[in-house]
Structure 1
Amino acid sequence: MNRRNFIKSGVALAMTSALPSVVLAANPSVGFDYELIVAPADVNIVPGGSTPALSFNGGYPSPVIRAKQHQPVRIRVVNKLNEPTTIHWHGMRIPIGMDGVPFLSQPPIMPGETFDYEFTPPDAGSFWYHPHMNSVEQLGKGLVGALIVDEAEKPDFDEDLVLCMKNWHIKDDGSFTALTTPQNAFRMGTPGRVMTINGDIHPTYDVPAGGAIRVRLLNVDNTLVYDVTSTDSDAQIIAIDGNPIAQPRALSNHLIAPGMRLDLGVIAPSKIGETVTFKHKNKPMVTIKTVASQLENRRLPTLPLNPIPTPDLENAETIKFAFEWNANITPIHKDGKVNYNFWTMNRRSWEGMSKGHIPAPLATLERGKTYIFELSNLTQYHHPIHIHGHTFTVLKSNKKAITPFHTDTVLLGQNETVIAALVADNPGRWMYHCHIIEHLKTGFMGYVEVS
């Protein structure tokens, strides 16, 4: 989408209050498709309250960035925070220099500095972006946004709803509660109080009656695992974590952990004023409501599959990863502050890194070779395991039946072991971690190196 059409469609959205609220990217510098300005901003989440958030381009929801499969996109990031930041493009198979992990793939973007990201998406689907520095606070206070990569040949949906799911850690007056506590970081993470879709509490969006609707649900939350259901028994799962599935299936319920995404296909009711509601554990999250249209006999378009490399399972090497609690005594720094480390990957807690210190990788992979990751959750809590720069093919689980699918974030339940394969075709040092942000910040992180 060129800039003229982007602005035109953005104005149309702004004039239609029934559609999802959208923040436009700032007028980009010459040669850039988007400009993201990272800065503090007051936003309105709860009625009558003001929340001192961190924002992209002065508000929330953040700009919806739209790119196109196989076409380059250039994004300039301007840091107006009083601390460093980066931007990670979650789920994207892009070069390591664009991955947005400080020190591992790029220098931090210091206050007052800019960084230019440029990449060509090989895959189409629903992705998102967020910093990878001071993650509990920067993500928790609003630095999260949707990145939509349109297919090279765009499917013919009548409406495309981009819905970012986020629980805000705020009081009734809009001020923040604690984003994390040690007691909760040791368990499932600190829950937010206010459940929102695109910053609104249970919004309703108008859709054309009888239309083919694409509903993109993106979990940009720090902590919450959403259990999604629908009042429409015919709602279809059409893509998981940015990757279309070969055979769409009916949605009964689906767990969407932090970092994960779910694309649903819905044929809207044919009568004007009818609704479909999507819920989390029977609590309404978002409703679509039909308005007049001339559409009849619509069917859901078929999504083309992404070009994920096929694993060579017969010649694959298996690597085992065990995810456990850290039973060691928590260390205390010289200044008296506690360095909380609660989680381990193969008995290692992430020790942090800096310009002069990069820890050893959890595994070194040979470029072009297939690997089978045996992912074992030896704890009683859920863990969404996310790998950068690659896509897993999930093969099986010891807890449930699996129809193989592609993903960048594998959700492991209590004492669950999942077998997932990948082709190590993207050279670099790739972060690999739990996407419950408090787990990440208390040890549950490492990286694999493809050489």
Structure 2
Amino acid sequence: MRRRQFLGSLAAVGLHPGLSFAQPSSIRLIAAAHRQQILPVGYPDTEMWSFGASFPGTALRARQGDRLGVTVENQLPQPTSVHWHGLRLENAMDGVPGLTQAPIGEGASFDYEFALPDAGTYWYHSHAKSMEQIERGLYGPLIIDETDPPDVDQDITLMIDDIRLEQDGSLSAFDNFHDLSHAGRIGNLWVANGQIDPAYPVKRGERVRLRLINAANARVFTVGMQGFDGSIVALDGMPLKDPQVLPEELILAPAQRVDLIVDVTTDDEEAFLITFERDGGYAIAHFPVSGPSKATRSERPLLPPNPDFPIDLANARTATLLIEGGAMGGMRAARVDGQELGARELAGRGLFWALNGVAGRPETPLLDLSLGESARIGMANNTAFPHGMHLHGMHFSEVLADGSLGPLRDTILLNPQETREIAFQAHNPGNWLFHCHMLAHHQGGMGTWIRVSA
């Protein structure tokens, strides 16, 4: 099934709802099965799992400084949990089964409640059997508005994804060894907000805040904007001190986000969000253009900064992380629960990846830090595949070649045979997962953790 077969079927999707003020326990998310038309009309619909009977799930929106309360009710045939990706929140609310909470059993519910210190673009998703449950649709956007938001005409969130469907509309089978040992579960159909090439009307001269979220299981999206001119103003929810000029191509690893503030500059009747593939560029969302807008603006606004936690590079604790495994390289052995296992035994358990020679989450943390300490982690990707490493609970900066610090992020992409170093201040107490967000890689062994003690 090739995406270009479906480009003739275009559907408009409404914009995310406006600002609402969430109060503790005021929101209820039901995780359950539902059916949704993902393929073009005339093809079968697809049974998805979702939060709120929609794919993506219910859009959550609150204001910086609020407390958010969400009761998650599980009506699925499997246990689940919810991770609030990118938020600096209380550790018990982080949603990682076996590390911060017990999974939410079938027919059970769990109350999440936490403060929202940071504005920005975030998302929520299942963290139980993530490769399967996220692919089935268990994710949604989480937008935290600034107390003084920028002046724009529209604020549009696009969750871009790929999904692997059969001709009958059903999801392809899970847990095959090829996905686990290669690039991960790569889909055969690209969608934005659950639809093929959805439409968002704009006017010439309008200013638009566009929030892009890569919700894919494993695909690294290379995207570009056609018909717009503007700036990158935030990465992974964190405002940039110096906005970057919008490049021709943006690379988004799974779980990464980017906020753009752009003006509609085209004289054509449509503008586009394009994904670049080996055989060319394809529209993943389009923007019918009318106008002109009456609005006139000059300089694009800066986003107000989120709370800052300075990193002390000179006195930082250090650790290294060696990424090994996968096909076209492999590993001869790794430790599991303190026991050395060979490649055949590891594969029998569905384990194909290791961090520092350990497959699966180890008993001891990669770093055991005191509150307020700074840390540096040097990482080497000794494999044939890219990996998007995600730290829970805190943002980090990349340590650049000249010793300076890059912008704050919560997910960093390491290409094959690449080395990179990150640094952060351990300002949030608890046990925090650090793992590859190519979800098959995490399931196949790529996960460790960091302890921050108060």
**TM-score under structure 1 normalisation?**
0.87
- Partner residue of 1:280 out of 253, 276, 279: 276
Corresponding residue to 2:149 among 154, 165, 174: 154
1:429 corresponds in structure 2 to: 431
1:175: Cα distance to partner? 1.0
SS of equivalent residue, structure 1 residue 306: coil
Q: Percent identity?
A: 33
> Unmatched 5+ residue regions in structure 2?
1-10, 326-330, 334-341
The one-letter code matched in structure 1 to 2:452 is: V
**Number of residue equivalences:** 420
Offset, 1:258: 0.8
Amino acid paired to 2:167:
D
Match of 2:338 in 1: none
| RMSD after superposition | 2.4
Paired residues of 1:79 and 1:111 also in contact (CA < 8 A): yes
Distance in 1 separating the partners of 2:160 and 2:422: 27
The aligned residue for residue 33 of structure 1 is 26
Hey, which of these two has a bigger chunk of strand by percent?
2
Distance change (3 Å), C-alpha of 1:374 and 1:257: same
Partner of 1:366: 370
Contact 2:228 2:264 in 1 (8 A): no
Aligned twin of 2:184: 189
Distance 1:311 1:339, change over 3 A: same
Residues 1:411 and 2:410 are matched in the alignment:
no
Amino acid at match of 1:182: F
Which residue of structure 2 aligns with residue 324 of structure 1?
Answer: 324
**Residue 97 of structure 1: SS of its match in structure 2?**
helix
Instruction: Confirm or deny: 8 A CA contact 1:22 1:63 kept in the other structure.
Output: no
Matching residue's letter, 2:37: N
| Cα distance change of structure 1 residues 125 and 234 upon mapping to structure 2, 3 Å threshold | same
Gapped runs of 5+ residues in structure 1? 1-16, 352-357
| Structure 2 partner of 1:350 | 360
How far, CA to CA, are the matches of 1:253 and 1:397 in structure 2? Answer: 23
Q: Secondary structure at the match of 1:185?
A: helix
The more displaced of 420-429 and 286-295 is 286-295
What secondary structure, in the 3-state scheme, does the structure 2 residue paired with 1:107 have? coil
The alpha carbon displacement at 1:294 in A equals 2.0
Matches within 5 A, 1:28-427: 32-47=25-40, 48-232=43-227, 234-250=229-245, 251-269=247-265, 273-281=269-277, 282-292=281-291, 293-297=293-297, 299-325=299-325, 326-328=331-333, 329-330=342-343, 338-350=348-360, 359-396=363-400, 404-427=406-429
1:70-118 CA distance string (max 9 Å, x none):
1111111111112211100011111101100112111211111111111
**Cα drift, residue 270 of structure 1:** 6.9
Mapped contact 2:163–2:190 kept (Cα < 8 A): yes
1:192 Cα deviation (Å)?
A: 0.7
How far off is 1:346 after superposition? Answer: 1.0
Deviation at 1:300?
2.5
Which AA in structure 1 matches 2:44? Answer: G
> Offset of 1:21 from its aligned partner?
5.9
State how far apart, in whole Å, the 1-side matches of 2:227 and 2:175 are.
36
Summarize deviations over 1:381-409 as a string: whole Å, max 9, x none: 111000100110112269xx987110000
Distance across 1 between alignment mates of 2:259 and 2:44: 32
- Counterpart CA distance in 2 for 1:23 and 1:131 is 22
Question: CA–CA distance in 1 between the matches of 2:194 and 2:172?
Answer: 17
Residue 432 of structure 2 aligns to which amino acid in structure 1?
W
